[in-house]
Structure 1
């Protein structure tokens, strides 16, 4: 397990650029909202901790992880942002639906990064069960949202 003995919320603030002049879009899936709200909270708190102004953080909701690509695309087109974070949670079920949603979402976010000059950060948990998602959205392994926020800051600076 990649996150074993690693807290996703740990970061060295000295190695993170100041985000005070950066604008961020965050697109959040409403599906598995008990998980995605935790991820959003981790991302928002980390951005603020690193200097971002709350007025420079724009949040949009979409129904599910599959819809993140479209939401992020519209965020890139309509808002003046330096980076976008796509937040979602897909949990393995009894059918292949999990595989199709995970693959389409990952490929869609990748395509946005290839087509646009503004980074889109993949913060979509693809877990085998609810406990794994809880552990990575503010639980015992910290918060993947925090990790995504650090990536967004670093990539936004790289993109400037």
Structure 2
């Protein structure tokens, strides 16, 4: 596709980016797999250990509190949110999922930081496992690389915004 207007793309180059990962402990086997996959993907795309900070929180609902604080600090270029909520027999699932998603979306709406949403909202453990390197890919890695791409697109956009 060719356009006469400037076209900016983000890249998945994590070199030099300061990355914050907020990961829930609840459903720890899944969230550990999400975190490991995110870190592995980030390193494959140029991130270094010293530029990655992982903060563990109790559950998905707490992710937004820490991610918001990280964003307000203006220390990170990227924030990756990782968790797993498995449907149970009560409405608690709906409230936790909605709260987590609203908080993560609120940070993304700021428009100044790359945000990756890797909070799984699934009906079964098997569905979660399928999303941590199984038949549905690796959502931790995908969230991390998406956040990097957004951060790079924001950097590429900055000179145009400053001129306006």
Q: Same fold (TM over 0.5)?
A: yes
CA drift of 1:44 comes to: 0.3
Count of matched residue positions in the alignment of Structure 1 and Structure 2: 146
- Counterpart among 68, 84, 94 of residue 89 in structure 1: 84
TM-score (norm 1): 0.86
Contact 2:79–2:113 (Cα < 8 Å) also in 1: yes
Q: What does residue range 49-128 of structure 1 map to in structure 2 within 5 Å?
A: 49-78=44-73, 80-115=75-110, 117-128=112-123
Runs of 4+ in 1 over 4 A off after TM superposition: none
1:130 corresponds in structure 2 to 125
Unaligned runs of 5+ in 1: 1-14
The root-mean-square deviation of aligned C-alpha atoms, in Å, is 1.5
CA drift of 1:115 comes to: 3.2
Contact 2:11–2:152 (Cα < 8 Å) also in 1: no
TM-score (norm 2): 0.84
**Does structure 1 residue 33 correspond to structure 2 residue 28?**
yes
3-state DSSP of counterpart to 2:113? coil
Structure of higher CA gyration radius: 2
3-state DSSP of counterpart to 2:30? helix
3-state DSSP of counterpart to 2:75? coil
